[in-house]
Amino acid sequence: MTTASEIYLNSLPEDISELDISCKDIKSLPDLTKFKNLKILYCHNNQLTSLPILPQNLQELYCYHNQLTSLPTLPQNLQKLYCSYNQLTFLPTLPQNLQELYCSYNQLTLLPTLPQNLQELYCINNELTLLPTLPQNLQEFYFSNNPIYETVNSNSLIQIKINIRILNNFRDLYYCLKFKKQFRKWLWEKVREPIVKKLYNPIYLVENLGDEDDLDTFLDNWKLEIVNNRRSKCNNL
């Protein structure tokens, strides 16, 4: 059954650059990718639980005051994202061109890596227990009513950035020390051991052996290579 929103969208020309379907009690949206020139999408104040794939040229997305539990992959050209007052528990990877992010009043426990071009960040009233490094270009930052707030808050944005960086450094150091043995085991099993097995496999000898007259020279060189590699690995441990 065709919905009222589909009928309306189908009646629009495909070359529109701005689309406003806010405050219409919409529960779902059809495919929007046919609007290849769409730059701005207003779909706030509806009952949306999800969004379709977004047009790649989209620059501004206003989807606040819905019931969204997740967001689709965000277009690389996106500069403004307003997704406050939803039920989001995580955000997708943020585009490098993003300048404004409003994600307050959700259920976020962490934020993804923030793009360096970001200038405004509003993430109040979430469940954030940690924060990523804040971009140097960030000019406005509001994050009250989060568990992390009392730990890093300051009257100066510069000091907040410093506090977050210090806290993250301590956290990284803690986990490095805590999982040191597991990390070394993982490094050996997933990285070093496969390389060693490949390098010293008998197949290596067959593949690289030239004339039979060169066998002794090849074996001598191969043994020397093994010794040098072992010394190098020991020095790096």
> In the prediction, which pLDDT does 17 show?
95
**Geometric angle at alpha carbon 80, from 30 and 127, rounded to 5°:** 90
| Sheet containing strand 80-82, strands side by side | 18-20, 40-42, 60-62, 80-82, 100-102, 120-122, 140-142
Q: How far is CA 95 from CA 12, 64, 188, in A?
A: 28, 19, 35
> In the prediction, which pLDDT does 226 show?
66
Residue 193 in any domain: the answer is: yes
- Per-residue pLDDT tens for 143-195? 999 999 999 999 899 999 888 888 888 777 766 666 667 767 776 677 766 77
Residue 93 in any domain: the answer is: no
Residue 144 in any domain: the answer is: no
How far is CA 151 from its chain centroid?
24
Instruction: For residues 157 and 190, give the distance between their C-alpha atoms in angstroms, rounded to a whole number.
Output: 41
Residue 105 in any domain: the answer is: no
> In the prediction, which pLDDT does 76 show?
95
Residue 198's domain comprises 179-236
Task: Calculate the average pLDDT of the chain.
Answer: 85
Residue 187 in any domain: the answer is: yes
Query: What total number of domains does the chain contain?
Result: 1
Residue 202 in any domain: the answer is: yes
Q: Along the chain (237 residues), what's the average pLDDT of each consecutive run of 10 residues? A: 72 91 92 94 96 96 97 97 97 97 97 96 96 94 95 91 86 68 70 68 60 61 68 59
Residue 141 in any domain: the answer is: no
Hey, what's the torsion of the CAs at 22, 2, 51, 144, to 10 degrees? Answer: 40
